[in-house]
Structure 1
Amino acid sequence: MQNPHSRTLERSPSPGLSQSASMAAPSRMIFKRRATATALPLYYSGMIQKKYTGEGGFRLYYGELRGSTLFFYSDEKQESYTEKLELHNLNSMVPVASYSTRVAPVYTLKFPKEEVQLKIDNPDTGELWRGYVLTVAKLDIPHDLQLLPGQIMMLEGVKDQEQQRRELQTGPPTPDTVQVEEYDDSLSIPTCFLGVSRDEAEDLLQKNPENGSIILRPATDKNNYSATTRQVFPSGPVIKNYKIVSCPDGGFTIQLDDPVTVPTLNAVVEYFTKETANQLKPFTPRAYDTRIGKIIPKYTISHTS
């Protein structure tokens, strides 16, 4: 039976490697092959659940927002997308319920002829997904996002990059018309990138250890970056700062005793995570407090004679 939603959500026309071969491929190679296959810049990615409005249950995918297309993979290691959702004709992305830090958000994406629902486990990550999707679909940053200034800065960068990408296109605004050489995948920005200073990054990690332990931030010199980490050792937590240098021919070099060069900023974060056996995790700031302080009145005890 033909999928009634096939016009908006398309399946991959030709799967690449087999499932077993795909699972064995290195993550960096998988990333490059996806970039080559889609020929689109990667703006945001992560686990996401999807269903059409009216369907029984959500299905879990690994999602990648590339250009104005949302690609769905069965897992992080699948090379060929299972389905894709074109966002250029998106009318709106509406939360099913009010923003809450305790409930996994569900968003309804309304298209001219159908609706798709997305569910994200983490409320803060859900707001990032909403921000990225609406920014690339409308080339406009929503004013009601529950995000921090640093995250809004990231969306502004994505908006500019997507605007430039569309200006370079020829023909209809579809992913098939974009040339691979127009895209430098090193421009994708990790979710833990914040427009903060060294002192501010250290302060965030010290005061909010539950939110993560590595922040990527701009360096004082133009075009380079820094990584601030907080790692817990038996003797106690230790804050460190590392310099990340942009390479002239592409990629980024982490300036260690033995320098390490990786292709993207996301790969910089992945390197720190893997080298510490997942002790260092990307910092995810929370936009709002979740507890209300109570003032306990003081009572005066009077003594009677």
Structure 2
Amino acid sequence: LGDLMEGRPHPRAVHRRRETITALPLYHCGSLLKKNLKEKDFRNFYGELRGTTLFLYKNDTQDTYSERLDLGLIKSMDMESPSTIFTLSLPLEEVQLKMDNADTGEEWRGFIMTLVNKEIPSDIQMLPGQKIKLEEMLTLENKRNPQLERPALPPRPGFLQTKDTPDMPACFFDVTRQEAEKLLSENPENGDIILRPSTMPKNYALTLRQKIDRGHVLKNYRVTSTSAGFVIELETPMTVRSLNDVLKYFLEKTEYRLRPYIVAQPYDTRIEDPDMDDHMKKLSKRGEFA
């Protein structure tokens, strides 16, 4: 009634108008504050969580958003205690979101973490009705944008690749950054690029050894797994469909000067006859063979 008397449009009418701009489903909304880590002060916004995108409006009557955050690209999310300030690490920036109180912050945390991890946080403290909304959102989001499954990791011993993951590049090894750099430095004949797990769950990293004027340099790149594919986190992020496409992208960008790191397997060069070996041993013992 107050909105009508002041001539302000009803929030439901505003939500419907915004739906004409984007077809993304509305999961959660409310007032919040936001700033980049480089900024000194927070700014007031009205946020709408549609799909995995957080649209930020100057107020709850604005038809078009001022800013947007793609939460599907989040690398990490840190919270201050009590959970009223979130720090989101995105490919090109780090931002902070601030809520009015801990209850509001916990609600926003539940929606964001459920979308990012594709599961409801086990430690979430929300009312039963709010948890039902999270379950409904998760069901709808999984139908709308099925989660890409992460291929199984090859076993660490012997650095052997598994036969059950044909989509995994042959240069993938379950090693750390330090182990990958050591392999590339000590065995340059095997190749220059290693794809490996990242320290972040469900993400990957690419380590390469590249020749420069002064010798060689080791570089590491982050590859983020999202519902849209795999994001190579460069100055201008590049999204590709598979890990093989990640490898292909680096090969093309280096004009195929680099090679995937593949451990050469030893091969035998002689065919042995066990019976003949026994015969030769007997002759040697009798002194008939010198």
TM-score, with length taken from structure 1: 0.44
TM-score, with length taken from structure 2: 0.46
Work out which structure has the larger RCO, using CA pairs closer than 8 Å and 6 or more positions apart in sequence. Answer: 1
Which structure: larger Rg? 2
